[in-house]
Amino acid sequence: MRSVFFPRLVNGPFGDPALHVRLAYRGEALLFDCGDLHALAPGELLKTRLLFLSHAHIDHLVGFDLLLRTFLARDLTLLMYGPAGLAQQIAARLQGYTWNLVDGYPFVLTVREWLPEGIREVSFPARQAFRPLSERMLTCHNQILHETPWYRVRAARLAHGDIVSLAFSLEEPLHVAIHKDALERHNYRPGHWLSRFKDLVMRAASLDTPVTAALSDGSMRSVPLGELLDTIASTERGMKVVYVTDCSPVFGNFRRILDLSQNAHLLTIEAMFAHRDLERARQRNHLTAWQAGRLARLARVARLQVFHHSPRYQGRPDDLGREARAAFAGENAPPCARNNGVLLC
On whether both 302 and 216 belong to a single domain, the answer is no
Beta carbons within 8 Å of 222's beta carbon, 6+ residues apart: 210, 211, 212, 213
What confidence score (pLDDT) does residue 1 get?
60
Beta carbons within 8 Å of 41's beta carbon, 6+ residues apart: none
On whether both 24 and 151 belong to a single domain, the answer is yes
What confidence score (pLDDT) does residue 181 get?
87
Q: What is the dihedral sign for C-alpha 146, 86, 266, 182?
A: positive
Beta carbons within 8 Å of 61's beta carbon, 6+ residues apart: 33, 34, 35, 53
Euclidean distance between CA atoms 216 and 233, whole angstroms: 17
Evaluate whether 288 touches 277 at the Cβ level (below 8 Å): yes
The CA-atom distances, in angstroms, between 22 and each of 2, 5, 62, 241, 303 are 14, 6, 21, 12, 18
Q: What is the pTM of this model?
A: 0.89
Beta carbons within 8 Å of 260's beta carbon, 6+ residues apart: 154, 156, 167, 169, 242, 244
User: Hey, which bits of 161-298 come out as E strands?
Assistant: 163-171, 175-178, 210-214, 220-224, 233-236, 240-244, 266-270
Name the strand (E) or helix (H) holding 63: none
What confidence score (pLDDT) does residue 230 get?
85
Euclidean distance between CA atoms 32 and 174, whole angstroms: 22
What is the domain count for the chain? 3
The CA-atom distances, in angstroms, between 108 and each of 77, 90, 237 are 5, 13, 35
φ, ψ of residue 168 in degrees (nearest 5): -130, 145
Evaluate whether 274 touches 289 at the Cβ level (below 8 Å): yes
On whether both 151 and 184 belong to a single domain, the answer is no
On whether both 146 and 47 belong to a single domain, the answer is yes
On whether both 212 and 142 belong to a single domain, the answer is no
Neighbours of 343 (CB within 10 A): 11
DSSP structure string for 292-320: HHHHHHHTT-S-EEEE---GGGTTSTTHH
What confidence score (pLDDT) does residue 334 get?
61
What confidence score (pLDDT) does residue 332 get?
61
On whether both 116 and 17 belong to a single domain, the answer is yes
Could you list the residue range(s) of the whole structural domain that residue 217 is in?
175-236
* 337 is a domain residue: no
DSSP structure string for 71-97: HTTSS-EEEEEEETTHHHHHHHHHTTS
* 169 is a domain residue: no
Return the SS3 of 191.
coil
On whether both 55 and 147 belong to a single domain, the answer is yes
Neighbours of 179 (CB within 10 A): 13
Q: Which DSSP state fits 195?
A: H
* 333 is a domain residue: no
Of 210, 236, 262, the one marking the end of a domain is 236
**Which candidate, 266, 248, 251, 195, places its Cα nearest to that of 32?**
266
What average pLDDT values come out for the chain (345 residues) when binned by 10 residues?
87 97 90 97 94 98 96 95 97 96 95 97 96 92 93 97 97 84 87 82 85 88 86 84 98 98 97 95 97 97 98 95 96 54 50
On whether both 217 and 280 belong to a single domain, the answer is no
On whether both 43 and 125 belong to a single domain, the answer is yes
Q: How far is CA 8 from the centre of its chain?
A: 10
* 323 is a domain residue: yes
Name the strand (E) or helix (H) holding 280: helix 278-284
Neighbours of 277 (CB within 10 A): 18
On whether both 211 and 262 belong to a single domain, the answer is no
Euclidean distance between CA atoms 45 and 49, whole angstroms: 9
* 340 is a domain residue: no
Instruction: Tally the residues of the chain.
Output: 345
What confidence score (pLDDT) does residue 345 get?
55
On whether both 39 and 79 belong to a single domain, the answer is yes
Euclidean distance between CA atoms 186 and 205, whole angstroms: 22
On whether both 152 and 227 belong to a single domain, the answer is no
